Structure 1
Amino acid sequence: MTARLDNLTRWRLMLGSSADGACASCGNALDASGLAMDTAMEWLYGRDEQGGERNIRRQGGREASQLTTPEWINDIHRLFPKETVERLERDALERYAIDDIVTNPEVLARAEPNEALLKAVLRTKHLMSPEILVMARKLIFEVVRQLMEKLSREMMIAFSGVVDRRRSSPFKIAANLDFKWVIRQNLKHYDPDTRKLAIDRLRFFARNQRRLRNWQVILLVDQSGSMADSVIHSAVTAACLWGLPGIRTHLVAFDTEVVDLTQDVDDPVELLMKVQLGGGTDIQKAVGYAADLIDQPAQAIVVLITDFYEGASEAMLVQRVRELIGQRTKVLGLAALDSQAKPNYDRAMAQQLVNAGAEVGAMTPGELAVWLAEKVGR
Structure 2
Amino acid sequence: MSHDPDALAQRSRRWQMALGAEDDTAPLSKQDLQISSALDALYGEESGKPRKGGFGSSAPKVSKWLGDIREYFPSPVVQVIQKDAFQKLGLKQMMLQPEFLEGLEADVHLVADLISLRSVMPEKTIDTAREVVARVVAQLMEHLERKTAEAIRGSIDRSKRSFNPRFNDIDWSRTIQANLRHYQHKHKTIVPEKLIGFQRRQRRLVDLDEVTLCVDQSGSMATSVVYSSIFAAVMASLPVVKTRLICFDTSIIDLTEYLADPVKVLFGVQLGGGTDKAVAYYQDKIEAPSKSHLILITDLCEGGDAPALIARIAELKGEGVNVITLLALSDDGRPYYDPTLAAKVASLGVPVFACTPDQFLDLMATALRREDVLNWAANEDIKTIRAEAGAPGDTL
Give TM-score, length-normalised by structure 1. 0.77
Q: CA deviation at 1:337?
A: 0.9
Q: Which residue of 1 aligns with 2:214?
A: 220
The reply on whether 1:158 has 2:151 as its aligned counterpart is yes
Q: CA deviation at 1:341?
A: 5.4
The reply on whether 1:38 has 2:36 as its aligned counterpart is yes
The reply on whether 1:141 has 2:134 as its aligned counterpart is yes
| 1:176-209 superposed Cα distances (whole Å, 9 cap, x missing partner) | xxxxxxxxxxxxxxxxxxxxxxxxxxxxx99857
> In the alignment, is the contact (CA less than 8 A) between 2:108 and 2:227 conserved in 1?
no
- Change in 2 beyond 3 A, CA 1:341/1:110: closer
**Counterpart selection for 2:304 from 312, 319, 336:** 312
Q: CA deviation at 1:367?
A: 2.2
Runs of 4+ in 1 over 6 A off after TM superposition: 161-164, 166-171
Structure 1 CA distance for aligned equivalents of residues 197 and 221 of structure 2? 36
> In the alignment, is the contact (CA less than 8 A) between 1:8 and 1:29 conserved in 2?
no
Q: CA deviation at 1:317?
A: 0.6
The reply on whether 1:321 has 2:313 as its aligned counterpart is yes
Q: Which residue of 1 aligns with 2:223?
A: 229
Structure 2 CA distance for aligned equivalents of residues 207 and 277 of structure 1? 47
Match runs of 1:113-124 below 5 Å: 113-124=106-117
Match runs of 1:1-378 below 5 Å: 6-16=10-20, 19-20=21-22, 23-26=23-26, 28-31=27-30, 33-46=31-44, 48=45, 52=46, 54=47, 56-58=48-50, 60=52, 68-160=61-153, 208=198, 211=201, 213-278=207-272, 280=273, 282-340=274-332, 342-378=334-370
Structure 2 CA distance for aligned equivalents of residues 234 and 355 of structure 1? 25
Structure 2 CA distance for aligned equivalents of residues 239 and 255 of structure 1? 20
Which is worse superposed, 6-15 or 246-255?
Answer: 6-15
Structure 1 CA distance for aligned equivalents of residues 218 and 28 of structure 2? 28
3-state SS of 1:301 partner: strand
Structure 1 CA distance for aligned equivalents of residues 131 and 197 of structure 2? 37
| 1:257-287 superposed Cα distances (whole Å, 9 cap, x missing partner) | 1111111112111100111112x3x111111
Share of identical aligned residues, percent? 33
What letter matches 2:25 in structure 1?
S
Q: Which residue of 2 aligns with 1:200?
A: none
Structure 2 CA distance for aligned equivalents of residues 217 and 318 of structure 1? 20
Structure 1 CA distance for aligned equivalents of residues 367 and 143 of structure 2? 22
CA RMSD, 1 decimal: 2.9
Q: CA deviation at 1:106?
A: 4.3
Unmatched tracts of structure 2, length 5 or more: 1-8, 169-194, 371-396
Structure 2 CA distance for aligned equivalents of residues 330 and 76 of structure 1? 36
Give TM-score, length-normalised by structure 2. 0.74
Unmatched tracts of structure 1, length 5 or more: 172-204
Q: Which residue of 2 aligns with 1:179?
A: none
> In the alignment, is the contact (CA less than 8 A) between 2:252 and 2:278 conserved in 1?
yes
Q: Which residue of 2 aligns with 1:188?
A: none
- Change in 2 beyond 3 A, CA 1:140/1:152: same
